[in-house]
């Protein structure tokens, strides 16, 4: 069985994330979407909330070969424990590549059986990031074109300044 991991902070999950996950599901028998826990990073949503949003979003897309999980530690070790042989990462720009290439080489050193596959983001998602979604939602802007519709209200309610829910 070909198992891949799509890791990320998903804070919050965007349509760009969902595009990469859906495309990975076409290539691999099983895709584990791994919510990364980084104690040094401040997140807007708890690990459990991010996991729940991903579960809702993947189910709404009908992705049946997906498992949502949490990785707390080294991704290379996690992949080994799950029997995964690939990591799938989306790339938006060259700046993404530099960081992700460094991570791929590190993971390969830690787990020689693990390959990293880079998928170029779809053109409509080139500009999209969780940080951008947070900023737009924080000021009450409309995020419906940036996040899965099934979780947009949850994201807006959490991120709107002063509870402004007009976005």
> What amino acid positions are annotated as catalytic residues?
17, 41, 92, 130
Please, are residues 121 and 95 in contact by the beta-carbon 8 Å criterion? no
């Amino acid at each position: 069985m070909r198992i891949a991991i799509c890791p990320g902070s998903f804070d919050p999950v965007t349509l760009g994330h969902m595009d990469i996950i859906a495309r990975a599901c076409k290539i691999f028998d099983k895709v584990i979407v791994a919510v990364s826990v980084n104690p040094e990073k401040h997140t807007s949503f708890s690990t459990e909330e991010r996991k729940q949003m991903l579960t809702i979003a993947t189910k709404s897309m009908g992705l049946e070969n997906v498992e949502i999980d949490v990785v707390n530690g080294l991704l290379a070790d996690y992949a080994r424990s799950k029997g995964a042989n690939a990591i799938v990462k989306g790339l938006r720009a060259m700046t993404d590549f530099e960081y992700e290439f460094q991570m791929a080489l590190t993971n390969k050193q830690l787990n020689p059986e693990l390959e990293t596959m880079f998928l170029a983001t779809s053109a409509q998602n080139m500009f999209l990031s969780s940080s951008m979604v947070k900023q737009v939602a924080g000021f009450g802007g409309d995020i419906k074109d940036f996040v899965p519709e099934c979780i947009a209200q949850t994201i807006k309610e959490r991120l709107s300044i002063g509870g402004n829910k007009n976005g």
